[in-house]
Structure 1
Amino acid sequence: MSLNRVLRTGIAASAALTATAAACLLAPSTAAAEAGAVEPPPAHAGFDYQIGGAYTPPAGVEIVSRDHTAAPAPGLYNICYLNAFQAQPGAEDDWDADLLLRDDNGDVVYDGDWGEAVLDIRTAAKRKRIAARVGSWIDGCADKGFQAIEPDNYDTFTRFPDLLTASQAKSFVKLLSARAHQRGLAAAQKNTPQLAGDREETGLDFAVAEECGVYDECGDYTSAFGDDVVVIEYTAEGLRTSCAGWGDRLSIVRRDLDVSPASSSGYVRQTC
């Protein structure tokens, strides 16, 4: 989530096909947008963030984000969550050893907050291999009936600036957005407000922003994506701030930090 190409005989037709293919590779998001192939979530709609476990969406919800291993919620706009730049906790052995980022001592680099091994996106060859695997998840999202993807940890480079760069992150996420568009799925920018202005380059269609109220970043996303922004806050203060500034424009929800299912004792969900 593959472009269907009709093969024609003849030198002129072949040349035209080559030019068209090149244009698609250079600007996949533009081609998809012009074809009307993807749609972002509805603006200012009821939203629920269920990446910690799926449950029946509350009344009024129109947009749901769920993990790619879950099924979409029937009748709603569904965003498919992917941990694209890091391995899930304990899943580093599922990846080829050379695709795990390593420090100068050869040790695997971990995001300490979540215990996730970081993926090595520093070369085009490695980005292509990682994108192939994440791409299989994207295909699964499309096959299940999701309408969009949410590739998480786009901002990993900000936590490891001595090893990773913004340019590498943009090059990698562009591969994912192209795959998504090929399967008719919209692609979200997850956090990373400093790169929101590069959305045309990266092919991203809307934003999923955590705690933009707390960090005064909601405007950074709307300046690039307009009202195509969904917001998750994790504190009462963050919810108040987001709702006061953006409650009449954006889709906003407060969830507990673990994003617990509704049956959990730690479950929190509030809206504007």
Structure 2
Amino acid sequence: MDRTGMTVKRVAVALVAVVALAACTSGSGENGETGGATGGSAAPSKPGAVQLPPRNAGFDYQIGGAYTPPAGVRIVARDRAAEPAPGLYNICYVNAFQAQPDARDDWPADLLLRDKKGEVVVDADWDEALLDIGTPAKRGRIADRVNQWVDDCAAKGYDAVEPDNYDSYTRSRGQLTADDAMSFIKLLSAHAHARGLAVAQKNTVELAGLKSRTGLDFAVAEECGAYDECGAYAKAFDDRVVVIEYTDRGVEKARSGFGERLSIVRRDVEVSTPGDAGYVRE
């Protein structure tokens, strides 16, 4: 399993984001949209012919473990190791920008990001080594590995993929840039589209307005209510946004402003399963 619980990783990167956005130019041409979908549909034959999640639909975030979706759920996100939920719109979670703690040794040493002292740069919150997407050659090699997971998602019948840690450049100690992140995710989105999968932007609100450059189709936003970011995602992705809040206050804010527009769920931070002591799903 890629992850058991996710939170938004907040870093003081406002200045970095402003500089990066000023330096970037948007490409032309959006991905085609066909509206909502059901899981398990055959992959379309051409890039861009993907199905996007329905707007303002019942949603459950199950990356910590799969279980029978509650009544009324139409969209489910699950870890890539799990099977999709029959008859629903299924999003496949992959950790695309960082290495799992138990999988760090599976990556070639030169693909792990290192600081100026040669030490591996680690996301301290999750003990995950950052992947070095700083050059075209390394981006290509990393994408080759991640895209194998994307292929598995498509083969299982998922409708979309959620590449996590798009914002890892903000934790790179200055070794990576927003442009590196966008160049890398563009490789993933092109491959996913060729397999008939839509691609989510995971968090990283500062880059939401650049989706035409990256090929991203919708957003998976953690705590956008708590941090007053839901409007930016909604504008960038035409309300095709699934929202996970981890506090009562966060879900109240998200629902009060966007309850009729976005797909919103309240989960526990560990994204646990029914029967676990800390399980929360509202």
Both structures adopt the same fold (TM-score exceeding 0.5): yes
- Shift in Å at residue 28 of structure 1? 8.8
2:185 aligned with 1:173, yes or no? yes
Q: 1:228 aligns to what? A: 240
Cα distance between partner residues in 2 of 1:229 and 1:32: 14
Q: 1:252 aligns to what? A: 264
Matches within 5 A, 1:18-57: 30=31, 37-57=49-69
Cα distance between partner residues in 2 of 1:70 and 1:253: 20
Which of 261, 266, 269 lines up with 2:278 in the alignment?
A: 266
- Shift in Å at residue 31 of structure 1? 7.1
Structure index of larger Rg: 1
Contact 1:28 / 1:178 at 8 angstroms: preserved in 2? Answer: no
Q: 1:9 aligns to what? A: none
Contact 1:27 / 1:203 at 8 angstroms: preserved in 2? Answer: no
| AA aligned opposite 1:73 | A
- Shift in Å at residue 27 of structure 1? 7.4
Identity %: 65
Q: Deviations over 1:21-55 (max 9, x none)?
A: xxxxx979647889761011110000000000000
- Shift in Å at residue 88 of structure 1? 1.2
Q: 1:114 aligns to what? A: 126
Q: 1:147 aligns to what? A: 159
Question: Whose helix proportion is higher, 1 or 2?
Answer: 1
Cα distance between partner residues in 1 of 2:149 and 2:67: 21
Relative contact order, CA 8 A, sep 6+: which one is greater?
2
Q: 2:205 aligns to what? A: 193
Q: 1:242 aligns to what? A: 254
- Shift in Å at residue 226 of structure 1? 1.3
- Shift in Å at residue 89 of structure 1? 2.0
- Normalised by the length of structure 1, the TM-score is 0.87
What secondary structure does 2:101 align onto? coil
Contact 1:44 / 1:251 at 8 angstroms: preserved in 2? Answer: yes
Cα distance between partner residues in 2 of 1:129 and 1:184: 22
- Shift in Å at residue 105 of structure 1? 1.3
| AA aligned opposite 1:264 | D
| AA aligned opposite 2:243 | V
Q: In structure 2, list runs of 5 or more residues that go unmatched.
A: 1-26, 35-45
Name the count of aligned residue pairs.
Answer: 245
Which of 224, 229, 236 lines up with 1:212 in the alignment?
A: 224
| AA aligned opposite 1:124 | P
- Normalised by the length of structure 2, the TM-score is 0.84
- Shift in Å at residue 237 of structure 1? 0.5
Cα distance between partner residues in 1 of 2:256 and 2:123: 33
2:117 aligned with 1:105, yes or no? yes
Cα distance between partner residues in 1 of 2:106 and 2:232: 36
Contact 1:66 / 1:72 at 8 angstroms: preserved in 2? Answer: yes
Cα 1:86–1:29 shift into 2, 3 Å: farther
Q: CA RMSD in A?
A: 1.7
Cα distance between partner residues in 1 of 2:243 and 2:116: 37
Cα distance between partner residues in 2 of 1:249 and 1:267: 26
Structure 1 consecutive aligned stretches of length 4 or more whose deviation exceeds 4 Å: 26-29, 31-36
